[in-house]
Structures are given as structure tokens and as C-alpha cells.
Structure 1
Amino acid sequence: MSGFDTLDPWLTDEQRAFRRNVREFFAEDPVRKAVAALGVHEPREESGLLDVYRRLGERGWLAAAWPEEYGGLGLTAVEAGIVLEEMVLNGVPEDQHVLSIDTVGQLLLLAGTPEQRTRHLPALAKGEQIATVLFTEPHCGSDLAALRTRAVPDGDGWRLSGRKIFNQKSQFAEWALCAARTDEGPVRYHGITLFLLPLRSPGVVINPVWSMGDERFNEIVIEDVRLTAEHIVGPVDAGWQLLNDMLLLERTGMDFQAKLRRWLDIVVADARRTGRLADSGYAQRIADVDAQLKAGRALAWRMVRAQVSGEPDPVASAASKWFITQQSDAVVRLGADVMGLDGLLSRWDGEAPADGLLESVYRQSPAHTLASGTSEVMLQIIAASGLELSS
């Protein structure tokens, strides 16, 4: 974890001390054992609620920027970024955090009612529950305005029906933030409403969708599930703007850059072990990738600081996400060249170097340019909103 300077000039003394405390936490033996246990699953197995999340929740660190009444510490996005960065650098799966804390929880803080926040946020902040999102549908990915899941009025409530796909952690989650169409007006981006859907409701069926990744996706079939006004987040028909606001907060690139840094550090350690680090060809490539990752990290932290100052920038956030995730391919190819054929052994092979991480990374890295908005969508935002280019 020496790939970046811990004395970041934008951190206060208190924030540097906070990072040291978080690092000491991850160095504790029980925590290291809990993280190591996550890597021993059989194929197609994965963890739900994580012990390390509960340990973070006990300290108020899992949602450090949330108000204390909801299980946080009332700190800033900087401290939250420190926790997320250190989690990923230490090999803790971040999907549950990104979904539950950074996405659903943050949107409830932004637009939820006091009752919704009191009911749902403390359990998320303690790592005792998981929340997920239901946006993508079989016929539409990034174009959420084309979604077909519908909620029709039913007395004082709604009847929700539709089909969602490529959702993670739904098999473990208690509830999900679901986008549904509630009006068919002439404006495509109007008439979308966000609902809190209890996933154990009659009429909700969760089917696995297997992929090359270690963690499964899911298909969610929703058949005539009745919801009430207490399940609606934000105004009816105004979910599109809320989704944009939420994605702006999510697209710092912090989790992506930390994951790439961890991968590169493992490649460098293997190059040092095998003597390839002394080869000028390998050394130059490592230096080049290292420089790109440091630039990406600087962009990610710039987005975090923009949130703290109350001046988030959609174009800069899109640029940060795009630039960072574009480095995935370079890191993976470098790792394959440095580690050779042995690097393609899976973690279920006893002779795999670095516990088979490279083989897992090789399968998962393409998803970086899809998650939180595809690279094409990021470029469209940069071109249209930043450069004011028309199609």
C-alpha cells in the first residue's frame, strides 16, 4: 500500500490521524482473519453480511459522513473517502458499501422522509442490513428513460410490476431502491418514481444470473406488489433528477482507483519477487501505469473535496470515472505479462500466485467501464455538457 503519499496536502491533521486509526484497524489480527476468510469461498459462493462491515459499523466508520442519529459520526466526505479507500486497499469487497451506503443510503439522506431515514439508515450504518438498487432492465441499460417497470395507482397506494436484471446482492438485501414508470407523458425523463421495495414481499422472485465475475448478478421479477406512500422516495414522477443527483455523488471514482492500486501493488510485489522489477522494460511499464493511477487518484480526491465544498461538478465527475476505469486494461495486461501463465491460475489452485487474484481480476475488470455509468455515457456527458458539442 505504498503506491501513494499518505500525507495528502488537502488533509487536515485530524483527517491524517483518522486515516492512521483506520489503517491500524485493518492491521488488527481479527480483522485480517475476517478479510482473509472472504477469499476461501467455493465457485459461485459469496458472502452476504460481512463481519468486517459490522466491526466498522460499531465505530461509526461504515457511514462516517452520516449524522450520528443515523449511525455515522457526522464527519465529511473526506473521512468517508478515507474509509472506502482503505477498505479496498485491504481487500475488503466494496460492492455492499457502494450499494448500501454510497447509493441507497445517500439518496435517503438527500430525499427520504424522516421516517424512512430513521427506519432504514441505522441498520445500514451498522452493517446489519444490505440495500441494493433495481434500475437496469433487460431491454435498457444506461438509458433508464426507456424502463418499462410500472407502478399503477391502486387506491391510496400503487401496484408495482416489472423485471429488473444485473442487480448485485439482491439475494442478501432486505429492500431495494426501485425505479418505475408512473406516468407516460411526452417527456421521457418525466414520470419516473423511486420506490423502496421490500425484497421479501410476495410477488418478488430473485433468480441468479451467472457471469464471469466472482459475485453473481440477479434477475428480479416483480408481479403486482402493492406499495404505499411510505415506500416512495422523493416526489412522484421526479425520480430522474434524483437519480442524476445520486449518480453525481457516486461517481468520484474512489473505489475504482483504490482497487486498481491494490492490483498494481500485487503485480509490483510479484515483479520484485521474481526479479522482473530489475528489467528496464518491465520497470518502465510499471512506472507508466503507476503515474496514471496517481493521476486518477488525484482526480477522485478532487471530486470528494468538491462534494465537501458543496460544488459537485457532473462533467468533472464523469471525466474522473472515465479516466480511472480506462486504466483497468493496462493494469491487467501488465499483470499478465509480469506474472506469466502462472498468473492465470485461479484462487482454487494451490499454486496460484497472489491467491489467484490476477485471474479473478482478468475476469472482472471489463465491468469497471460499465458500472456507475458506461464509458460511452461518461464521454457523452463530457462532450455535451462540458464541451457543448451537439450530435
Structure 2
Amino acid sequence: MTTAFRDDVRTLLEEDSVRSTVADIAAYPPGTEVALLDVYRRLGERGWLAPGWPVEYGGLGLGAVENAIVTEELTRAGIPDDVHVLCVDLVGMFLLHAGTAEQKARHLPALARGERLATVLFSEPEAGSDLAALRTTARRDGTGWRLRGSKIYNLKSQYGDFALCAARTTDSPVAMHGITLFLLPLRAPGVHIEPVPGMANDRFNLVVIDDVRLDDADVVGEPDNGWQLLNDMLQLERTGIDFHAKARRLLDQTIDRAAEQGLLDDPEWAGRLAELDATLRAGHALAWEQVNALAGGHPDPVTSAMAKWYTSEQIRPILNAGTELAGLGAALSAWDGTTDDDGTWEAALRMGPSHRLASGTSEVMLFLIATNGLGLL
């Protein structure tokens, strides 16, 4: 079943129209980026965008394995995965596990069809990714809530329909207590979105939330229990599948370049590439171990942290090797018009540092391993 499903998804992503879309994206001018793509909708029509979701919410009722296959195949095909990760793997996952029946019915089918875009608002200017230090507040206002604060370094908010937003609802001496998750309409009066300078093709955003009123129906999970929910759900995201797929695509490009230069018979380069390949294969096995644990209903936060750290750290040595082979050509972007790889390597170099930060920094992952796994601190 899983092999046939992967073959079906791969066949669709290899169609000429999809390959043309990938080429067009590579040539986007500065300031232009991907939002909802037609390929997402085509996957959604078949229930393939979120195959693990129940049929009534737009999926196929399958599981974590098929979700991971879609993530792998999208990345393998060179299709930007930020929208898929945000809509399905993050916001959709939170709603599926903690949302009310009304929230699920209202939001999940459209996300699964690739017709709506959701994002997350967690990080803040003074708190970074330390959610225990967040300052955005949500105060009671009759039967609802008033949200005030600022969020930063979020993707796709300029295109999004709504966001999963973390806000402090109760002041407490325990920093982790008193955080609540809300569904925030991004086009509501009082929501201001502006770009933040960055190195990647896709821009970061600053979102200012100025006295936006929400109802109890917009609360995800229980009030004041957002910290526990965030920890439980983000653990499910850290399989390492997405980072491995990105690393594999980069290494395959590096091996192809080495072959073009006749270096596969060179002992130094052959050994170096073989070592990178072996490391990736180990990372792939570790990542799929996490997927299988999810499928079996027994995810482990320590091995999830190990998988995220190990797979994301592999990208840097691959970028180093590929850049050595490409020489100065690695610095040419798609906008230069003279690159022989559509600028994909230059874009990958700009994105390289982010892999150690996304889904939990490498330092945080090592801390979790040291404390929860090894009992060192």
C-alpha cells in the first residue's frame, strides 16, 4: 500500500506541468514567493495533501507514514514545502488533535484541499523562540478575549487566512503556565503585517496585533494549557523527514556535479561523498524510526530531538562540498541569468543556516537529549 501510494504521488509530481512550475519558481524575481500552488490543490483533490487525516476532513484516513511520504516526495521534486508544513504538519496537526469539532469542520477540509493558507505566530521580538518569555497578551473581554502584542519571523502571513497564535492569558510566577493558543484571522481589523529583512527568498514578517477581539470558539485546547500543547504537538513535527529530504536532494545534486567533473574515480572525492551518503542513510533510518513511532502511537521526545538535530546538521557539510565543486558559480542566483543550475545552490546557501534553527534549534535539541535522555543536567 505505502509503495503504491509513493509511486502515485511521485508520478503526479513528475508531470510536465509540475516540472514547469518548479522551473518558474526558481526564476521568480526578488520579492516574489510561493503561496498556494496548483500542485497542492491537485494533491488535495485526491486526498494526498493530508493523507493521514480522516476522510471527512479531506484526507484518506491513512496515517503518519503516508504523511511523511508526501513530505519526502514534495522535497525530492523541488517543490517548496513551507506552505505544506505550515498548513498540514503544524496548524492542521494542532487542530486535528486539540481542536473542537466546529474548528475541525471549519478549517481542516479547506487546508487539506490546498485552498486555504494557515500559518503560526509563536516567536516574538523580545523572546525569539523562547515561548515561556512571550509577551503577547489575551485578556478577558466579556465572553471573548482581546489580543495585543507583536510576533516576528513568521512565514506566509502576508498570504495567510488565519494563524495559530500563542498569547499569555494568565500572569504566573511559573513562566510556562498561562499560555493559550488562539485561531487569529489575519485579515481582521487590528492585524498589521509588514516584511522583515532576511536572506531567504521567502520573506519573514512582523505581525502587530492591536486590540483584536476573539471569541471562546477561537481558543484551541484549554485556556492556560498552551505550553503543554505546544510541547506535545511540536514533538510530533520533529521526525527529521523534511530535513533529511532536503539534505538528500542537495547531496544528489553534489554527486551529479562530481560525476560531470569526472571526480567519482578520485579517491579523495569518492571517499568524501561516500561518507556523506552513509551519514544521510543513517539519518533517514533514524527519521523513519520516528515516523513509525508516531504511526504506532508512541512518539518519544528524546529520539525525536535526536532525529531533528542529526538530520538538520547534515546539510552544512553537503553545502560545503557542493560549493567546492561549483566554485564561484555557487554564488550565482537565478536573478543573474548566467547560472547553470537555476540558482538553486545559491538559494540553498542562503537557507543553510536556517535548518539549525527551524523546528527547534540544534542547541535546544542537544539540551533535550542531555537532560531528558542522558540525565546529564
Query: TM-score scaled by structure 2?
Result: 0.98
Partner of 1:262: 249
**Aligned letter for 1:263?**
L
| Secondary structure at the counterpart of residue 140 of structure 2 | strand
**What amino acid does structure 1 have at the position aligned with 2:203?**
R
Query: Which of 90, 104, 107 matches 2:77?
Result: 90
Listed as ranges, the gaps of 5+ residues in structure 2 are: none
* Residue of structure 2 aligned with 1:209, choices 196, 202, 217: 196
Root mean square deviation of aligned Cα? 0.9
- Contact (CA 8 Å) 2:122, 2:129: kept in 1 or not? no
Runs of 4+ in 1 over 6 A off after TM superposition: none
Q: Tell me how far apart the structure 1 counterparts of residues 26 and 211 of structure 2 sit (CA, whole Å).
A: 39
CA–CA distance in structure 2, aligned partners of residues 18 and 124 of structure 1: 20
Aligned to 1:224: 211
Q: Residues 322-352 of structure 1: CA distance to partner in whole angstroms, max 9, x if unpaired?
A: 0111111101100011111112211122331
TM-score of the two chains, using structure 1 as the length reference: 0.95
Q: Is the 8 A contact 1:343 1:353 kept in 2?
A: no
1:167 counterpart = 2:154 = yes
* Offset of residue 31 of structure 1: 2.0
Paired position in structure 2 for 1:11: none
The one-letter code of the counterpart of 2:156 is K
Q: Is the 8 A contact 2:27 2:342 kept in 1?
A: no
Which segment is superposed worse, 350-359 or 306-315? Answer: 350-359
1:182 counterpart = 2:169: yes
Is the 1:252–1:321 contact (alpha carbons within 8 Å) kept by the matching residues of 2?
yes
Equivalent in 2, 6, 10 of residue 23 of structure 1: 10
**Residue ranges of structure 1 left out of the alignment (5+ in a row):** 1-13
SS in 1 for 2:183: strand
The percentage of aligned residue pairs carrying the same residue is 58
Find out whether 1:350 has 2:337 as its counterpart. Answer: yes
**Counterpart among 13, 22, 37 of residue 35 in structure 1:** 22
Q: Count the aligned residue pairs.
A: 377
Q: Deviation per CA, 1:198-217, whole angstroms, max 9, x where unpaired?
A: 00000000000121111100
- Structure 2 SS opposite 1:249: helix
- Equivalent-residue separation in structure 1 for 2:110 and 2:342 (angstroms): 33
Map 1:112-261 to 2 at 5 A.
Answer: 112-261=99-248
Larger mean Cα displacement after TM superposition, 265-274 or 153-162:
265-274
| 1:233-285 deviations in Å (ceiling 9; x for gaps) | 00000000110111111100111100110011111111111222232211111
Amino acid at match of 2:352: S
Give secondary structure in 2 for the equivalent of 1:38: helix
The more displaced of 68-77 and 335-344 is 335-344
- Report if aligned partners of 2:72, 2:245 keep a CA contact under 8 Å in 1: yes
Residue 353 of structure 1 and its aligned partner are, at CA, apart by 2.6
1:299 paired residue number: 286
Contact preservation (8 Å) 2:91, 2:119: yes
SS in structure 2 at match of 1:355: coil
Report whether the alignment pairs 1:281 with 2:268: yes
- Kept after mapping to 2: 8 A contact 1:256/1:325: yes
